[in-house]
Protein backbone atom coordinates (compact mmCIF):
# COMPACT_ATOMS: atom_id res chain seq x y z
CA UNK A 1 0.00 0.00 0.00
CA UNK A 2 1.30 3.40 -1.00
CA UNK A 3 -1.26 5.54 0.84
CA UNK A 4 -4.46 4.95 2.84
CA UNK A 5 -7.35 7.08 1.58
CA UNK A 6 -10.20 5.85 3.81
CA UNK A 7 -10.02 3.43 6.74
CA UNK A 8 -12.85 1.10 7.75
CA UNK A 9 -13.80 3.40 10.64
CA UNK A 10 -13.77 6.48 8.42
CA UNK A 11 -16.07 4.75 5.91
CA UNK A 12 -18.58 3.91 8.66
CA UNK A 13 -18.48 7.50 9.96
CA UNK A 14 -19.03 8.84 6.43
CA UNK A 15 -21.97 6.49 5.82
CA UNK A 16 -23.53 7.46 9.16
CA UNK A 17 -23.34 11.15 8.22
CA UNK A 18 -24.61 10.58 4.69
CA UNK A 19 -27.50 8.47 5.97
CA UNK A 20 -28.64 11.34 8.18
CA UNK A 21 -28.31 13.83 5.31
CA UNK A 22 -30.35 11.59 2.99
CA UNK A 23 -33.04 11.04 5.65
CA UNK A 24 -33.34 14.79 6.14
CA UNK A 25 -33.73 15.37 2.39
CA UNK A 26 -36.34 12.60 2.04
CA UNK A 27 -38.28 14.08 4.97
CA UNK A 28 -38.94 17.15 2.83
CA UNK A 29 -41.04 15.33 0.21
CA UNK A 30 -43.92 12.89 -0.08
CA UNK A 31 -43.49 11.19 -3.45
CA UNK A 32 -44.14 7.60 -2.44
CA UNK A 33 -41.43 5.17 -1.37
CA UNK A 34 -37.96 6.44 -2.33
CA UNK A 35 -35.77 4.15 -4.43
CA UNK A 36 -32.03 3.96 -3.71
CA UNK A 37 -30.18 2.82 -6.83
CA UNK A 38 -26.62 1.45 -6.69
CA UNK A 39 -24.27 1.69 -9.65
CA UNK A 40 -22.84 -1.80 -10.17
CA UNK A 41 -20.33 -3.14 -9.43
CA UNK A 42 -18.10 -0.49 -7.89
CA UNK A 43 -20.64 1.19 -5.61
CA UNK A 44 -22.01 -2.02 -4.05
CA UNK A 45 -19.79 -2.14 -0.91
CA UNK A 46 -20.49 1.56 -0.25
CA UNK A 47 -24.19 1.05 -1.00
CA UNK A 48 -24.64 -1.83 1.45
CA UNK A 49 -22.91 0.10 4.23
CA UNK A 50 -24.81 3.31 3.43
CA UNK A 51 -28.33 1.85 3.47
CA UNK A 52 -27.79 0.60 7.03
CA UNK A 53 -27.75 4.26 8.05
CA UNK A 54 -30.84 5.38 6.09
CA UNK A 55 -33.88 5.05 8.36
CA UNK A 56 -36.55 5.93 5.81
CA UNK A 57 -38.54 3.07 4.32
CA UNK A 58 -36.82 2.62 0.97
CA UNK A 59 -36.69 0.23 -1.96
CA UNK A 60 -33.37 -1.00 -3.33
CA UNK A 61 -32.37 -1.23 -6.98
CA UNK A 62 -29.31 -1.32 -9.23
CA UNK A 63 -28.09 -0.02 -12.56
CA UNK A 64 -24.97 -1.27 -14.30
CA UNK A 65 -22.85 1.05 -16.39
CA UNK A 66 -19.27 1.04 -17.56
CA UNK A 67 -16.81 3.69 -18.67
CA UNK A 68 -13.59 2.09 -17.42
CA UNK A 69 -11.29 -0.50 -18.93
CA UNK A 70 -8.79 -1.68 -16.35
CA UNK A 71 -7.46 1.51 -14.77
CA UNK A 72 -8.55 4.19 -17.23
CA UNK A 73 -11.77 5.82 -18.33
CA UNK A 74 -12.72 5.08 -21.92
CA UNK A 75 -14.86 8.22 -22.14
CA UNK A 76 -17.71 6.09 -23.49
CA UNK A 77 -20.54 5.06 -21.14
CA UNK A 78 -22.73 2.01 -21.72
CA UNK A 79 -25.71 0.75 -19.69
CA UNK A 80 -25.93 -3.04 -19.43
CA UNK A 81 -28.54 -3.33 -16.66
CA UNK A 82 -31.47 -0.98 -16.03
CA UNK A 83 -33.29 -0.43 -12.71
CA UNK A 84 -36.18 -2.85 -12.09
CA UNK A 85 -38.51 -0.42 -10.31
CA UNK A 86 -40.79 2.15 -11.87
CA UNK A 87 -39.00 5.38 -10.92
CA UNK A 88 -41.45 7.83 -12.49
CA UNK A 89 -42.58 10.54 -10.08
CA UNK A 90 -40.47 9.15 -7.24
CA UNK A 91 -37.53 10.37 -5.22
CA UNK A 92 -34.46 8.48 -6.42
CA UNK A 93 -31.05 8.41 -4.76
CA UNK A 94 -28.31 7.29 -7.14
CA UNK A 95 -25.35 5.83 -5.25
CA UNK A 96 -21.95 5.84 -6.98
CA UNK A 97 -18.43 5.19 -5.71
CA UNK A 98 -16.65 8.17 -7.29
CA UNK A 99 -16.92 11.26 -9.44
CA UNK A 100 -13.63 11.28 -11.32
CA UNK A 101 -13.83 12.70 -14.84
CA UNK A 102 -17.55 13.36 -14.31
CA UNK A 103 -18.44 11.51 -17.53
CA UNK A 104 -20.28 8.57 -15.96
CA UNK A 105 -22.30 10.66 -13.51
CA UNK A 106 -23.23 13.18 -16.20
CA UNK A 107 -24.43 10.42 -18.50
CA UNK A 108 -26.35 8.52 -15.81
CA UNK A 109 -28.23 11.60 -14.62
CA UNK A 110 -29.30 12.40 -18.18
CA UNK A 111 -30.19 8.75 -18.84
CA UNK A 112 -32.34 8.34 -15.71
CA UNK A 113 -34.12 11.67 -16.23
CA UNK A 114 -34.87 10.82 -19.85
CA UNK A 115 -35.89 7.17 -19.43
CA UNK A 116 -37.45 7.12 -15.94
CA UNK A 117 -38.63 10.67 -15.19
CA UNK A 118 -38.20 10.68 -11.39
CA UNK A 119 -39.68 13.53 -9.36
CA UNK A 120 -36.29 14.19 -7.77
CA UNK A 121 -32.95 12.60 -8.59
CA UNK A 122 -30.32 12.92 -5.86
CA UNK A 123 -26.76 11.66 -6.15
CA UNK A 124 -24.64 10.22 -3.35
CA UNK A 125 -20.96 9.43 -3.81
CA UNK A 126 -18.23 8.11 -1.59
CA UNK A 127 -15.36 10.08 -3.16
CA UNK A 128 -15.20 13.23 -5.29
CA UNK A 129 -11.82 13.58 -6.93
CA UNK A 130 -10.65 17.09 -7.84
CA UNK A 131 -9.50 15.68 -11.17
CA UNK A 132 -7.18 17.85 -13.24
CA UNK A 133 -8.75 16.19 -16.32
CA UNK A 134 -12.39 16.72 -15.29
CA UNK A 135 -14.73 16.60 -18.31
CA UNK A 136 -17.98 17.44 -16.47
CA UNK A 137 -17.70 19.17 -13.10
CA UNK A 138 -20.59 17.22 -11.62
CA UNK A 139 -21.60 18.11 -8.07
CA UNK A 140 -23.17 15.48 -5.84
CA UNK A 141 -26.01 16.12 -3.40
CA UNK A 142 -24.29 13.93 -0.80
CA UNK A 143 -20.50 13.53 -0.77
CA UNK A 144 -18.38 11.38 1.52
CA UNK A 145 -14.85 12.65 0.84
CA UNK A 146 -13.32 15.21 -1.53
CA UNK A 147 -9.70 14.52 -2.41
CA UNK A 148 -6.90 15.98 -4.53
CA UNK A 149 -5.32 12.51 -4.86
CA UNK A 150 -4.82 11.88 -8.58
CA UNK A 151 -3.40 8.35 -8.42
CA UNK A 152 -5.42 5.22 -9.05
CA UNK A 153 -7.24 3.90 -5.96
CA UNK A 154 -8.47 0.45 -5.02
CA UNK A 155 -10.47 -1.27 -2.29
CA UNK A 156 -14.05 -1.06 -1.01
CA UNK A 157 -15.55 -1.29 -4.49
CA UNK A 158 -12.67 0.26 -6.42
CA UNK A 159 -10.98 -2.45 -8.47
CA UNK A 160 -7.91 -3.37 -10.44
CA UNK A 161 -9.20 -5.48 -13.35
CA UNK A 162 -11.97 -6.83 -11.13
CA UNK A 163 -9.76 -7.50 -8.09
CA UNK A 164 -9.73 -5.83 -4.63
CA UNK A 165 -13.36 -4.67 -4.55
CA UNK A 166 -13.76 -6.70 -1.34
CA UNK A 167 -11.03 -4.88 0.60
CA UNK A 168 -12.65 -3.03 3.55
CA UNK A 169 -10.74 0.24 3.01
CA UNK A 170 -9.66 2.50 0.12
CA UNK A 171 -6.00 3.02 -0.75
CA UNK A 172 -3.42 3.84 -3.40
CA UNK A 173 -1.66 0.59 -4.35
CA UNK A 174 2.12 0.44 -4.47
CA UNK A 175 4.05 -0.73 -7.53
CA UNK A 176 4.71 -3.98 -5.64
CA UNK A 177 0.95 -4.41 -5.18
CA UNK A 178 0.37 -3.89 -8.90
CA UNK A 179 3.11 -6.34 -9.85
CA UNK A 180 1.63 -9.00 -7.56
CA UNK A 181 -1.87 -8.41 -8.96
CA UNK A 182 -0.59 -8.65 -12.53
CA UNK A 183 1.06 -11.97 -11.65
CA UNK A 184 -2.23 -13.26 -10.17
CA UNK A 185 -4.15 -12.18 -13.26
CA UNK A 186 -1.59 -13.79 -15.57
CA UNK A 187 -1.69 -17.05 -13.62
CA UNK A 188 -5.47 -17.03 -13.74
CA UNK A 189 -5.40 -16.50 -17.49
CA UNK A 190 -3.03 -19.47 -17.93
CA UNK A 191 -5.19 -21.66 -15.68
CA UNK A 192 -8.29 -20.93 -17.75
CA UNK A 193 -6.35 -21.50 -20.99
CA UNK A 194 -5.20 -24.91 -19.69
CA UNK A 195 -8.74 -25.82 -18.62
CA UNK A 196 -10.03 -24.90 -22.07
CA UNK A 197 -7.39 -27.12 -23.70
CA UNK A 198 -8.38 -30.04 -21.49
CA UNK A 199 -11.98 -29.78 -22.68
Catalytic residues: 100
Q: How far apart are CA 66 and CA 100, in angstroms?
A: 13
Question: What distance separates the 2 farthest-apart alpha carbons in the chain?
Answer: 61
Residue 123 CB-half CA count within 13 A: 23
What is the helix (H) or strand (E) element at residue 143, kind and residue range?
strand 142-147
Instruction: Give 199: exposed, middle or buried? Use CB within 10 Å, 0-12, 13-18, 19+.
Output: exposed
CB 50 within 8 A of CB 124: yes
Amino acid sequence: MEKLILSEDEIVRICTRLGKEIDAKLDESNNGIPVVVAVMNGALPFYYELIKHIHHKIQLDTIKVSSYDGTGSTGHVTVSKDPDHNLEGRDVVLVEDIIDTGITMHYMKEYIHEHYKPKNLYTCILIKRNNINMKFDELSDFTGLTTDEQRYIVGFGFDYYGLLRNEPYVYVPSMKDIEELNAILEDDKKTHADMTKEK
